[in-house]
């Protein structure tokens, strides 16, 4: 593991981790340590010794035992984990021999936080067609460049407003505000040609346009977009609760920039109450809301309240996002 990745991992104790390949492990601690020790000569990487706490009789995680004919070393006692195995990081400690020991616990079917988050993500991502699912997953993971490649490919196949909107969101997260605004306006043009437009989906585009204008300092224009968003959502047959909460939070950021501090905090706290009522307790959207409130308190020099919000935010992010996600790095720096 690179030194940079290890620093991120140290900040994720208590959070979740999975591996993007099959994970080979051994019941023989000596064999595992030999593998880890072989990496000590490289100063650019950290030698990690993983210790996994698991009851093989009870776990539902994908794991299989490889007998001697399949193992590279005789007597290795090798166990192979599937790629969708999820672990919780319980502890990290430096060892005297230069190794770093990372203790992992296998998540179970009754891990309430993981189940709530998984069910929610499955509903959010699972309703999309194949490549759209992959692109949405890359966005959830903060893999902006990969998500961009996927949606640019999709756009070549179909001038779809949703694809264009996603490219706008990615451009915004990559700090290319002009490109984001072009994509969102293009999405609005395509959306206007639909026979039966969905008010809630249109509201999402207006909200995103408002966010870009907000970041560009065009506050009055941004506020108009947010107000239009709330009007559409409140009259929609199936309003997007998350988008409503985001919009209240965004209005709060504008009021903050305008020096209307009381209104700003009221809007931000209202957004947080909505999210806490409708989303799993470890959803990243709640973390984002807490981060915004933390920033508000920090600017008003209420450092104790700011630190409390940032700690709650980081705890949620570590429990719900990949350890290398940029949002975790941002909160840690804050």
Q: What is the pLDDT of residue 276?
A: 92
Does the domain spanning 114-333 belong to CATH 3.30.390.50? no
Q: What is the pLDDT of residue 128?
A: 54
Contacts of 36 (CB under 8 A, 6+ apart): 47, 48, 49, 99
Predicted TM-score (pTM) of the model is 0.59
Q: What is the pLDDT of residue 199?
A: 79
CB 47 within 8 A of CB 39: yes
Handedness of CA 91, 290, 174, 299 (dihedral sign): negative
Place of tokens 């949703």: 162
For residue 259, how many C-alpha atoms fall within 13 Å in the half-sphere facing its CB? 0
Instruction: Please report, for residues 244, 248, 274, 299, the alpha-carbon distance to residue 268 in angstroms, rounded to integers and kept in the order given.
Output: 12, 6, 10, 14
* 13 vs 211: CA distance, rounded Å: 33
* 115 vs 179: CA distance, rounded Å: 37
Superfamily of domain 3-108: Toxin ADP-ribosyltransferase; Chain A, domain 1 (3.90.176.10)
**What residue spans in the chain does CATH classification 1.25.40.10 cover?**
114-333
User: Chain-centre distance of CA 76, in angstroms?
Assistant: 37
Three-state DSSP at 101 gives strand
**What residue spans in the chain does CATH classification 3.90.176.10 cover?**
3-108
The pLDDT profile of the chain, 334 residues, written as one tens digit per residue, is 777 777 777 777 777 777 666 667 777 777 677 767 776 777 777 888 888 887 665 555 556 655 554 444 444 566 666 655 677 788 888 887 778 888 888 776 556 655 655 555 555 545 455 677 778 778 877 788 888 998 999 899 888 888 999 999 999 999 999 999 999 999 999 988 875 667 788 898 999 999 999 999 999 999 999 999 999 998 888 888 889 999 999 999 999 999 999 999 999 999 999 999 988 888 888 999 999 999 999 999 999 999 999 999 888 877 766 555 555 545 554 5
């Amino acid at each position: 593991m690179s030194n940079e990745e290890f620093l991120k991992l140290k900040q994720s104790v208590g959070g979740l981790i999975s591996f993007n390949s099959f994970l080979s492990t051994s019941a023989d601690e000596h064999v595992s340590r030999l593998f880890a020790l072989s990496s000590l000569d490289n100063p650019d990487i950290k030698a990690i010794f993983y210790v996994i706490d698991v009851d093989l009789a009870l776990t539902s995680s994908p794991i299989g035992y490889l007998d001697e004919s399949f193992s590279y070393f005789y007597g290795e006692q090798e166990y192979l984990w599937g790629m969708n195995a999820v672990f919780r990081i319980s502890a990290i400690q430096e060892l005297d021999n230069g190794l770093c020991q990372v203790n992992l616990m296998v998540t179970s079917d009754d891990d309430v936080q993981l189940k709530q988050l998984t069910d929610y993500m499955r509903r959010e991502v699972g309703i999309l067609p194949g490549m759209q699912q992959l692109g949405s997953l890359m966005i959830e993971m903060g893999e902006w460049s990969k998500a961009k490649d996927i949606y640019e490919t999709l756009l070549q196949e179909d001038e779809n407003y949703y694809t264009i909107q996603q490219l706008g969101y990615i451009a915004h997260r990559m700090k290319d505000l002009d490109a984001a605004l072009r994509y969102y306006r293009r999405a609005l043009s395509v959306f206007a040609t639909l026979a039966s437009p969905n008010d809630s989906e249109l509201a999402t585009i207006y909200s995103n346009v408002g966010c870009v204008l907000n970041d560009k300092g065009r506050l009055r224009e941004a506020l108009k977009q947010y107000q239009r968003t709330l009007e559409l959502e409140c009259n929609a047959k199936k309003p997007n609760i998350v988008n409503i909460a985001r919009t209240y939070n965004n209005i709060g950021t504008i009021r903050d920039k305008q020096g209307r501090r009381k209104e700003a905090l009221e809007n931000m706290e209202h957004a947080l109450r909505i999210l806490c009522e409708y989303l799993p307790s470890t959803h990243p959207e709640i973390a984002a809301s807490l981060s915004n409130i933390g920033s508000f308190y920090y600017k008003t020099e209420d450092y104790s309240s700011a630190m409390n919000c940032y700690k709650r935010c980081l705890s949620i992010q570590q429990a719900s996002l990949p350890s290398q996600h940029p949002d975790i790095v941002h909160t840690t720096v804050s």
